[in-house]
Amino acid sequence: MSFKISFQLSLLMFFQFFIWGAWFVTMGTFLSQEFNSSGSELALAYETQSIGAIIAPFIIGLVADKYFAAQKVLGSIHLLGAFLLYKAGVSDNFSVFYPYILIYMLFYMPTLALANSVAFRQMKDPSKEFAPIRVFGSLGWIVAGLLIGYLSWESSSTLKNTFYMSSFISLILGIYSFTLPNTPPTIEKNKSKSFSQIIGLDALKLLKDKAYLIFFIASILICIPLAFYYQHANQFLNEIGMEAAAGKMTLGQISEILFLSLLPLFIKRFGFKSTLIVGIFAWGLRYLLFSLGADGVNSWMLILGIILHGICYDFFFVSGQIYTNIKCKPEYKSSAQGLITLATYGLGMLIGFRIAGYLTDLYLINDGHNWQKIWIQPSIFAFVILILFIFTFRNEKIKIKNI
C-alpha cells in the first residue's frame, strides 16, 4: 500500500470517529442540560445506536455490496449526516431532537462497515496493515473529547456546539469520501445474496459449538452493563463536578490504543478464556470504582475506572472478534462478524440502554442522582456474568496466526 493511500485511509478513520466521539459521549449531558430529559429519554436517544446496528447489515448487504461503490455510498451518507446533525443541534425540545438523531444513526452505523470495506480493499495483508490505520480512528475520538474539554462546552452548557462541530466535519468527510480509492460493489448485479446471508444468519452454524454459544450469550449479556458507560458516564462525571469530563474520558481511548498493542501477546501467552475473563472482570471493577467514587472525593477511582476502558473493550470485544474469526469457516467469516455485532451493539446494548434509563429515573434525587446505587447495579451484574463464564466456558487450544 502506497503512502498516499495509507494517508487517505488514516484521514478517513480520523474523521469517521471524530464525528461520532464529538457528540455521542456528551449527548446524555446535553439532553439533561438542554431539555431536562429523563433517564428514559436518554435511553431512547442512545438506543438509536442499537437500532442502527440492527439495520446496518441490510443497507450494506442490499445497497453497498451490490449496486454502488462503497466510497460513494459513504460520501452520500456523510453529506446527509451533516444536515441531520445540524438539525439535531438547533432542536428546541426532545420531541424535535429525537427523529433527527434516530435517522442519523440509521445511516451512520453502516458507515463503520463501509469505512472498513474501503480500507480492507486497498490492503494486501489487512492483519498487519489495518491496525496502524484504525488507530487514527481512536485518535479522532480523543481529539474530539479534548476539544470539548478545552472549549468548556460542558461547564458552560453549550453542548449544542458539539452537533455543529460534528455537522461541519461530516460535511468535509462527505466531500472527501468521493476522493477515496474506488471500491466497487463486491457482488455482480446478476447475482444476489440470500436474506439469511444479508443479516448473517448463515453464521448461526457457529452456535452449534457449545464453547462459542457460551461466548455468544456472554457477549450479549456484558453489553448490558456496557450501555451504562456510554449513556451515563459523561452525565455522571459532570453532575458530580468533574471539570472537562469529556477530555478526561479520552484517557479511555488512550488506554485502548495501549492495550490493543498488548492484546496479541496476552492471547498467545494465556489463551482466549483468560483474556475474556480479564475483560469481564475489568467491567465489574470499573463500575465498582465509579460507585465507590461517586461522592467525588476519591477522584482517582473515577480516573482509574476511565482508564480501564482499554482492558474492558480490547480484552473482551476485540479478542471476541478475533475468536469469532478463528472459529468460523471462511465462507461465512463476514457474516459471523456481522452477527456478533448485531447481537452485541444491537440486542445487548438495546436492553442495556433501557435498563440504564430506568435505573437513573429510579434513583433520581433532589440535587441529581444517587450514582452510588446506580453504578453498583452493572458492577454486580458483570461479576455474576464473570462467575458463570468461568465455570461454563471451556478453554481451548487454538492455533493463532497473524494477530
- Model confidence pLDDT, tens digit, residues 29-41: 999 999 999 999 9
pLDDT value of residue 264: 81
Least confident window among 4-8, 218-222, 326-330, 346-350: 326-330
> Model confidence at 397, in pLDDT bands (50, 70, 90)?
low
pLDDT value of residue 115: 86
DSSP alpha helices (H): ranges in 240-298?
A: 245-292
pLDDT value of residue 191: 56
**Domain range annotation of the chain:** 1-185, 196-403
pLDDT value of residue 230: 92
Only one residue has cell 498488548, namely 262
pLDDT value of residue 201: 64
Greatest C-alpha distance within the chain: 65
Check pLDDT > 90 for residue 80: yes
Q: Rounded CA gap, 352 and 248, in Å?
A: 24
CATH class of 1-185: mainly alpha
The residue type at 236: F
Q: Fold identical between 1-185 and 196-403?
A: yes
Q: What percent of the chain has pLDDT over 70?
A: 88
| CATH T-level assignment (fold) for domain 196-403 | Growth Hormone; Chain: A; (1.20.1250)
Q: Taking a C-beta distance cutoff of 8 angstroms, is the pair 79, 136 a contact?
A: no
Least confident window among 12-21, 123-132, 202-211, 377-386: 123-132
Check pLDDT > 60 for residue 189: no
- Identify which has the larger pLDDT, 125 or 216: 216
pLDDT value of residue 204: 76
- Identify which has the larger pLDDT, 373 or 343: 373
> Model confidence at 65, in pLDDT bands (50, 70, 90)?
low
pTM of the predicted protein model: 0.86
DSSP E strand stretches across 145-281: none
pLDDT value of residue 122: 85
pLDDT value of residue 86: 98
Check pLDDT > 90 for residue 61: no
Q: Which residues contact 84 (CB under 8 A, 6 or more apart)?
A: 100, 101, 103, 104, 107
Mean pLDDT of the chain, nearest integer: 87
